[in-house]
Structure 1
Amino acid sequence: MVDETTLETRLCKAFCADLKVRAVEDGFAIATPFTDESGDRMTFFAVREVDGWLLADDGDYLASLIGAGIDIETSQRGDMLDRILREADAYWDRDTFEIKSSRVSDDDHLPDRAIRFLSGLLRTRDLSLMTREAVRATFRDDARKALFERLAGLADIEEGAPVSKSLEDIPADFLVSPRGPGNTAAIFVVTRNERLMEALLLQAEAQAQNVQNLSVIALLEDTNFSAISRKNLKRAHNRLDGVPVFRGDERAAIESIVRVARLEAAG
């Protein structure tokens, strides 16, 4: 049975095995065991200065957020970033976008400060998650508004509803039931692979159960498919009833849903 000493030893060994320190011109490059969204190992630098040490990343992370149009200065994300960095005794350079520590006074303090700095770097990655969730929520709200406005009088719309009892494990974001002629439309609001796979799964299960008069539709936000694999996107185009793109052509995207589901006003 593992005791606390054995577990501590194993954890230290596992952590240190993937921690790499390499000497560079001005100090050290420190590659950590942790990876970012692209799969690259998170790396930061210990830079030797006249009066001590400076810890810094390469500036790519914050630059990528700013390049994506994300406000990290005046928004809620900016407040969160500043709070995280203060707790790590760090700040971000407005000119280089690097995250930097305050001065580390001597060699003895460097390891402890490096761990504290790394903790801050890891926590800043929550900004990406916060951004994705906010974007997802905004997209869903905008799609909801457009659907309810266009389909008023044509169909009833349920949110988070399954197509049938036998398919209750795969609820659609919006289940559109026609009041007149037309198909039931199961609409999935897709911003990531998992949701697209659920739409594909519903299509396959509905076909296996011989469900009639059902249109399965994946509503994409835009043509930036960084969070959706090309393989899954190709499957969606080939197997789903519709894969409209919402942003920039919202009205046409909703009209394509009306056409695919063959929704008509009740006579």
Structure 2
Amino acid sequence: MNLQQEICAAFCDGLIVRKVPVGYAISAPVTWFSGDTISFYARVEGERARLEDSGSLLFDLEGQGVDFSSENRMEILSGLLRDHGVVLEEEDGVFCTEWVPKAKIAALALPFLTFLARVQDLLFLNREIVKSTFKEDLIGALEDTFSEASVSVAEALIPSLPHYTVDIVVRARSGKTAAIFPATNDVSVLRAVLFSMELQKHDVSNIVPFLIYENLDKGAITHQSREIAFNSDLTPAVWSGGREEVMQKVQRYVQ
């Protein structure tokens, strides 16, 4: 079994698809903020199908204190919807994809799962104040090491996949690029794993994906997410283990 097969096996072992009256219920090996696994549906009507959430996510987020009357939050939500090809049916509060032929529905699964993972960022806006300090410190250290001009943030490195954005991008003089994901929760880990899988799928060799943990506090990231990340093609590092050593590691891999 090669590395790609091992990664697929680790991820797919936790993927459950069940036949239900509306079509299929799909559970992914990633958790919601509530601790439950992320689940969504493939609604099938004749020869067409679409992916959709249960209809409760919007209300769950509101129940957790997300204020959708906030212009800032609505701008973020609109951007996520646009980037992942998802729409919000305001009448019933359902997040869903466009209708496509049944044979093409599987191709929408990863972008939709990525959207469901990232939309939870709305919940963590207030909680991110502390976490953003880690990200800002990491960006500052990278700018000191590689020069400010070579560091950018929130960039899509694969033109054909604009919804796979990288948190921090470092372009080295060697021509190689470091795609860095700060690992602060399960969502950030999943995004990094999915991105690394796309690099393998498209045979991209000049981009090195990194997953940098602030620390190894087991409360922030589940054991299952750690296992998936460790079995992936991501290059790991731990910020609390030595900032200078992290910078040296990034340098070595992109030289």
Q: TM-score, normalised by structure 2?
A: 0.49
Larger Rg over CA atoms = 1
After TM superposition, the score normalised by the length of structure 1 is 0.47
